[in-house]
Amino acid sequence: MFKLGLTGSIGMGKSTTAQMFVDEGCVLWDADAAVHRLYGQDGAAVTPIATLYPGAIVEGAVSRSALRSIISKDRDALKKIESIVHPLVAQDREAFLSNPISDIAVLDIPLLFETGGERQMDAVVCVSVSPEEQEKRVLERGTMTRAEFESIRAKQMPNDEKCARSDFVIVTDTVEHARAQVQDVVRQIRERLRDA
């Protein structure tokens, strides 16, 4: 099974693009969805996080807002939480990959390069759009302020660098353009698999 890492900064159209890969017969593993499962009731991250930060647990699940509050007050909290969550996410991904139901597995990992995950992929595709369009999309969601958006963007690897390090770049300026590029990437990978 070919492992295709899918990455891209906030507001670049990664979720929409991921669905386009599914439409082309690829299987999808989503890192954010894995974290949601781990944080949910009876999730594997609940007990270890409760041991460190009992206040982060609300109704048997990890509360993201409580975690944000803890992280904002305790400089070491993020590292401690990541040391619990990252290995659990890796186990979730390995369990997914151990059951190959397609020739191409798309692994949607927002911080792929930041965590060194690209080394475990056969290729990486990055979604991209202009900074102006990125900002417009994020602010139109109405879920964060411009300052919050700028703070998130500042913590992520610059888009130009992500694109330069990727094997494929999909420009998500329009749905039709993005879909055509996804189809081309899938075609290239399937040709490579056939010729191998």
For 172-190, the pLDDT digits (tens) are: 999 999 999 999 999 999 9
Q: Tell me the pLDDT tens digit for each residue of 35-59.
A: 999 999 989 999 999 999 999 999 9
| 111 & 190 share domain | yes
Per-residue confidence band for 91, with pLDDT thresholds at 50, 70 and 90? very high
Dist CA 77 CA 87 (whole Å): 16
Q: What percent of the chain has pLDDT over 70?
A: 100
Dist CA 32 CA 34 (whole Å): 5
pLDDT of residue 83: 94
| 14 & 72 share domain | no
Per-residue confidence band for 93, with pLDDT thresholds at 50, 70 and 90? very high
Total structural domains within the chain: 2
Q: What is the CATH number of the domain that holds 177?
A: 3.40.50.300
Per-residue confidence band for 152, with pLDDT thresholds at 50, 70 and 90? confident
| 3 & 72 share domain | no
| 108 & 173 share domain | yes
Dist CA 191 CA 182 (whole Å): 14
| pLDDT > 90? residue 153 | no
Per-residue confidence band for 98, with pLDDT thresholds at 50, 70 and 90? very high
| 95 & 108 share domain | no
Q: Tell me the pLDDT tens digit for each residue of 100-138.
A: 789 999 999 988 998 899 999 999 999 999 999 999 999
Domain boundary among 82, 101, 120: 101
Per-residue confidence band for 196, with pLDDT thresholds at 50, 70 and 90? confident
| 58 & 151 share domain | no
| pLDDT > 90? residue 171 | yes
Dist CA 68 CA 71 (whole Å): 5
| 116 & 21 share domain | yes
| 17 & 109 share domain | yes
Per-residue confidence band for 70, with pLDDT thresholds at 50, 70 and 90? very high
Dist CA 126 CA 14 (whole Å): 8
| 80 & 167 share domain | no
Q: Kind and range of the H or E element at 128?
A: strand 123-128
Find the domain containing 44 and state its range: 31-101
| 47 & 128 share domain | no
Quick one: CA dihedral 45, 138, 148, 115, positive or negative? positive
